Structure 1
Amino acid sequence: MKLRSKLYYYPETGFTSNSYIIEDGVRVLVDPGHQNHLQSLIEFMREDGLELRDIDYIIVTHAHVDHCGAVYEIQKQYGIKVAMHEFEKQYMYGQSKFFLRLLGLSFTPFDVSYWFKESEDRFEGLDVTILHTPGHTPGSISIYSPTQKYLITGDLVFDGGVGRTDLGGDSTLLTRSIERVSQLDVELLLPGHGPIIVGANNVSRNFKLIKNFMSYL
Structure 2
Amino acid sequence: MQIRTFALGPLQTNCYLLIRNGDAVVVDPGGDPSAVLNVLRNEGLTLTHILNTHFHFDHVGGNRKLAQETGAPILADEKDAYLLETELGRGGFMGLPAIELFEYENIEPGATSFLGLDCAVLPTPGHSPGSVSFHFPDAAAVFVGDLLFNRSIGRTDFPGGDLDVLKNSVVGQIFTLPPETVVYSGHGDPTTVGDEMRHNPFFTDFSF
Shared fold, TM over 0.5: yes
Paired residue for 1:182? Answer: 175
RMSD: 2.6
Listed as ranges, the matches of 1:185-204 within 5 Å are 185=178, 186-197=180-191, 203-204=193-194
Q: Give a deviation string over 1:144-185, Cα, whole Å, max 9, x none.
A: 122221111111111111110111211111011110211111
**For the Cα contact (< 8 Å) 2:75–2:106, is it kept in 1?**
yes
Q: Structure 1: which 5+ runs fail to align?
A: 1-5
Aligned residue for 2:26, secondary structure, equals strand
Paired residue for 1:149? Answer: 140
Deviation at 1:49, TM superposition (A): 4.8
Listed as ranges, the matches of 1:1-217 within 5 Å are 6-12=1-7, 15-23=11-19, 26-35=23-32, 38-42=33-37, 45=39, 49-50=42-43, 54-94=46-86, 96-97=88-89, 100-105=91-96, 106-112=98-104, 114-118=105-109, 120-123=110-113, 126-168=117-159, 169-180=161-172, 181-185=174-178, 186-197=180-191, 203-210=193-200, 212-213=201-202
Identity %: 25
CA 101–215 in structure 1, closer or farther in 2 if over 3 Å, else same: farther
Aligned residue for 1:147, secondary structure, equals helix
TM-score normalised by the chain length of structure 1: 0.78
Deviation at 1:74, TM superposition (A): 1.8
TM-score normalised by the chain length of structure 2: 0.81
Aligned residue for 2:99, secondary structure, equals coil
Q: Which amino acid aligns with 1:31?
A: D
Q: Whose strand proportion is higher, 1 or 2?
A: 2
Q: Structure 2: which 5+ runs fail to align?
A: none
Q: Give a deviation string over 1:1-47, Cα, whole Å, max 9, x none.
A: xxxxx131214256231122234575211111213xx334445x36x
Q: Whose helix proportion is higher, 1 or 2?
A: 1
**For the Cα contact (< 8 Å) 2:18–2:24, is it kept in 1?**
yes
**For the Cα contact (< 8 Å) 2:198–2:204, is it kept in 1?**
no
